[in-house]
Amino acid sequence: MTIDDTTVLIVVDVQNDFLPGGSLAVKDGDQVVPVINRVAGRFANIVATQDWHTPKHISFASSHPGKRPFDMIDLVYGKQVLWPDHCVQGTEGAALARDLSIPQAQLMIRKGFHHNIDSYSAFTEADGKTTTGLAAYLQARRIRRVFVAGLATDFCVAWTALDVRKAGFETTIIEDACRAIDADGSLAKAWRDAGTAGVRRMQSTDLAV
Ligand code: VGL
Ligand code: ZN
């Protein structure tokens, strides 16, 4: 496995609200931190993302009277799962995990900041057209291959990896560097969709020198 300057690691949403004790805690979410810290040392290029919502964001159940977290609603752009309030801009919950150590990360992508549009993917928002600019950045940096790690496997990691494929890059999810929410079969569906799109999956130990 050669990791050269045409390869990037995208570290997705390793933020306090997704860790145990956070408002949208992913089971064992904290366990990705040491794995990511370890593999990060192998990459010359790292991009990190933060889920970065406005207060009362449209993806929050609390913004829709009578709705509860994990309910599904129809928005102008399609189906939307409703979440507990999480990753509000500038809050401690939106901060990167304290023990995450990726000082060499070159770009932070914040997503989900449009009040009326959610964004699981680091590339294209949930309306299917608003772009974060990340594909153009990776093209400008002459990137060819993308590894993805972080939280949560079945939402932001999977949607990011699918969009990496759409942007025309090779992509691999580092499975043990991710943890899932797994609501209503979402994890099985995510792996199915990823497989169909040609997303590879690998363990962090497969990256060992
Ligand atoms: C995420 C649900 C809502 C994620 C973000 O990072 O996977 N999931 N917002
Ligand atoms: Zn979110």
Q: Average the pLDDT over 56-83 and give the result.
A: 97
Q: Is 83 near ligand 1, meaning CB less than 6 Å away?
A: yes
Q: Which fold has domain 7-52+89-206?
A: Rossmann fold (3.40.50)
Confidence of residue 124 (pLDDT cuts 50, 70, 90): very high
Closest listed ligand to the CA of 24? 1
Tokens of 62: 């609390």
Q: Average the pLDDT over 89-113 and give the result.
A: 98
pLDDT at 2: 75
Best of 86, 119, 178 to mutate for ligand 1, by most ligand atoms within 8 A of CB? 86
Q: Is 151 near ligand 1, meaning CB less than 6 Å away?
A: yes
Percent of the chain at pLDDT exceeding 90: 96
Best of 96, 153, 181, 189 to mutate for ligand 1, by most ligand atoms within 8 A of CB? 181
Q: Is 156 near ligand 1, meaning CB less than 6 Å away?
A: yes
Could you tell me the distance, in angstroms and rounded to a whole number, from the CA of residue 125 to the centre of ligand 2? 11
Could you tell me the distance, in angstroms and rounded to a whole number, from the CA of residue 78 to the centre of ligand 1? 17
Q: Average the pLDDT over 157-186 and give the result.
A: 97
> Is there a contact between 121 and 156 (Cβ–Cβ < 8 Å)?
yes
Report the sign of the C-alpha dihedral through residues 79, 83, 89, 93, in that order.
negative
Residues labelled as active-site residues: 13, 111, 156
Q: Is 51 near ligand 1, meaning CB less than 6 Å away?
A: yes
